[in-house]
Structure 1
Amino acid sequence: MTAALGALVFYFLLPEHYFNWYPFIPIYFFVLGVFSIYMFDACRKHMPKKLVLFHLALKIIRMIFSVFILVLYCLAVRDHIREFMVTFIIFYLVNLVFESWFFLAFECNRKRKKENEKIA
């Protein structure tokens, strides 16, 4: 959804700012999201007591890797750097919000289940 909205904005409102590497950004965050879901699920099954620590470590690794991608783009491609960085950061923030919401919902459901088990 965010990828399509961004593409429409670039295509209709800011066509002079469109850059050829735009499709890479949504693909990058999609792959990163799928990887995070699988890692989160594996941690939930095998190390449930370290879930919060794992989640934070995954966020730090993601941030470091994302900064690496930004620097690599700036050094290697050198085309529409400002547009790439702003678009990448917007996607990063949107991804961060949705991931945080998911983790909060997961924790609330887990807490509710524990409370229901204590009552029953």
Structure 2
Amino acid sequence: MLGLSGQYRRNGGQALVDLGELSEGIAKVPLNMTVASTRAYRLEFVSKNNGQLRMADSNWSVPYQLMIGEKTLSLGSTANYTSSNTDPTRESLPMRFVIGSVAGKRAGLYSDLITVSIAPR
């Protein structure tokens, strides 16, 4: 089972996270992903824009990475987080967005869609 807590809102079945004004470094958005599992698990993260926050109807983009716990995930392709626990567990993992360079980028609304799935390890 997957859950999310912290600074986000729901729109249908999606969690919307507002990263605020983008600046290089870790976005100051408090989020935690909660995982409940009866055994070791693997989380899979797929970014629609391959790790780029994109401005709609343009070629403007800002690179970013995702941190789950202390592990930094590159979203240029499918990214995985594997639990170290083999026993039944309920974990709360800090989830952070690491924003790349915004120098020379056009102001506006940038977005991406991340799909998260869980499977036994």
Taking structure 2 as the reference length, the TM-score comes to: 0.33
Taking structure 1 as the reference length, the TM-score comes to: 0.33
Q: Which of the two has greater helix per residue?
A: 1
